[in-house]
């Protein structure tokens, strides 16, 4: 179990290897990588800047990860979330969930992403043709969070 908040990019396969090295009890591992896209709703966007709350962010991610271990039969997990400025195509977030059986790993990875969207203190600002705009929270993200309660 671990979480990291960092400015730098990450390497998905290295992170997965590091998490699973020496493990013989894992039957399936699911990873999700979130990327910066170049459109949002009806407008084109350039770079994205992610602000966060140092201290609380790490605690919130660790609490979300702990909740995933309570709810699902997973044996290993990782959350890496970046902050700062990122261009379209760059990686923003990585979650990995590993379990003896694939179903739990799939569900845990989806749960981790749904919860961190609305419960980890990050705020996105997008560069648009009209200047930087704070991204508004989405009702669909709240619905995705609530379906696990």
Partner 1 sequence: MKLLYFAWIRERTGVHEETWPLPKGTATVQDLIARLAERGPGFAHAFADVKQIRAAVNQETAKLDAPVSDGDEVAFFPPMTGG
Where in 25-84 is the site for partner 1 (CB under 8 A)? 34, 50-53, 55-56, 59-60, 81
116 is an interface residue for partner 1 by CB under 8 A: yes
The distance of closest approach from Cβ of residue 47 to partner 1 in the complex, given in angstroms and rounded to an integer, is: 15
Closer residue to partner 1 in complex, CB, 11/141: 141
Tell me the torsion sign for CA atoms 48, 49, 51, 57: positive
Q: Which is nearer to partner 1, 107 or 124 (CB)?
A: 124
> Reduced to 3 states, what is the DSSP secondary structure of residue 85?
strand
Residue indicated by tokens 């739990």: 104
Q: Which two tokens stand for residue 125?
A: 């600002």
**In angstroms, rounded to a whole number, what is the distance separating the alpha carbons of residues 105 and 76?**
9
Q: Which of 29, 68, 86, 120 binds partner 1 (CB under 8 A)?
A: 120
When binding is defined by CB under 8 A, the residue of 92, 96, 98, 108 that contacts partner 1 is: 92
Beta bridge mates, 77: 97
CA neighbor of 5 nearest in space, from 68, 70, 61: 61
Residues near partner 1, by CB under 8 A: 34, 50-53, 55-56, 59-60, 81, 92-93, 113, 116-125, 134-137, 141
């Amino acid at each position: 179990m671990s979480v990291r908040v960092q400015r730098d990019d990450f390497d998905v396969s290295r992170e997965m290897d590091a998490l699973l090295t020496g493990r013989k009890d894992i039957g399936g591992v699911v990873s999700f990588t979130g990327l910066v896209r170049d459109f949002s709703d009806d407008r084109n966007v350039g770079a994205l800047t992610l602000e966060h709350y140092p201290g609380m962010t790490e605690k919130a991610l660790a609490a979300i990860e702990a909740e995933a271990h309570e709810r699902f039969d997973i044996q290993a997990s990782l959350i890496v979330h970046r902050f700062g400025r990122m261009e379209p195509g760059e990686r923003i977030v990585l979650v990995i969930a590993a379990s003896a059986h694939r179903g739990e790993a799939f569900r845990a990875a989806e749960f981790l992403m749904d919860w961190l969207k609305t419960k980890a203190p990050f705020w996105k600002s997008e560069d648009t043709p009209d200047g930087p705009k704070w991204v508004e929270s989405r009702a669909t993200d709240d619905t995705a969070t609530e379906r696990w309660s």
